[in-house]
Amino acid sequence: MEIKEVFKPKAIEEAIKLLDHYQEASKIIAGGTDLIISIREGKEPAPVIIDVSSIGEIKEINEIDEWIEIGAGTTFTNITEAAILQGRYQGLIDAAASVGSPQIRNAATIGGNICNASPAADFIPPLLALDSLLIIQSTDQIREVKLEDFLRDKGKVALSSNEILTKVKFKKLNKGQGLGFNKLGLRKALAISRICTAVYLEVSEDSKCNEMRIANGSLGRYGLREKAVEDYFKGRALTDDTIRIGGGLLKDEVNSRLQGRSSAEFKREAVDGVFTVALTKAIENCSHRKGDLI
């Protein structure tokens, strides 16, 4: 189906009025790095395009009370340059820096990455590990939904045709808390991730794990939390032994999930190493200083 009209609203209010009017006939475009390909392949009938790339309100990164809020229109380049995210949130910066090429990172947005809901979306695991909430707006309401509940299946999210994702928010990280990310890609510059893992960690003063949240990409139909492995670590000291046992549990989980897939053997072997590096980075990012747990 041909594109018949393109709108370029400058404010959220304007965009949601257009969405309300055109409903299923319309499609939001942000960076276009996923959507243009789908339109070209005839997978996305979109006679009306609503280009949200000129809406300044959805490009901000702010600290508000105990929250960090990131606009859906923030590009991966913006993330890599955000001073606010350096240190404890380094996992977000590493995930953004691992996306595509410089040209892709200049255009591609975090909102597009989330709403496209590819199993290989690199920014979804770190946001899942941060237990992020999404802010979604329509003419009727502004609602908040957990990212975990928003992802429904491969390429499917809980978003109506009259809604726009405006921002993502998560709790600020404090002393003893940090986020790590690691990715095993196919090719260096334009890798769509084969496996990526994000680990949020909260350690106590005596170096025990108070809480761990692990999220993987490309190991299921969409980005997933690994709750059985998270439970294992709770209250345990982070030693070579516990990390080895936790990595083994993750291998078992992935193995049972990917049964029958041709990539299962490779992924089952690789997942443990990818996780261990992500966890080591989370430990470093908890402290801001290498080799010091808090």
Q: Which residues bind ligand FAD (CB under 6 A)?
A: 27-35, 52, 72, 99-100, 104, 107-109, 111-113, 115-116, 121-122, 159, 164-165, 190-193
- CA dihedral (120, 121, 122, 126) positive or negative: negative
- Residue 253: CB minimum distance to ligand FAD, A: 22
CA torsion, points 72, 78, 81, 87, in degrees to nearest 10?
20
Of 52 and 250, the one with the shorter C-beta distance to ligand FAD is 52
Of 27 and 251, the one with the shorter C-beta distance to ligand FAD is 27
* Residue number of the CB atom closest to ligand FAD: 112
Report how far apart the first and last C-alpha atoms of the chain are (Å, whole number): 56
- Using alpha carbons, select from 206, 202, 255, 204 the residue that is nearest to residue 226: 255
Of 32 and 176, the one with the shorter C-beta distance to ligand FAD is 32
113's CB contacts (< 8 A; 6+ apart) are: 99, 121, 122, 123, 124
Structure token digits, residue 253: 């989980």
- Residue 153: CB minimum distance to ligand FAD, A: 14
- Residue 117: CB minimum distance to ligand FAD, A: 8
- Beta bridge mates, 237: 208
Of 88 and 183, the one with the shorter C-beta distance to ligand FAD is 183
- Residue 185: CB minimum distance to ligand FAD, A: 7
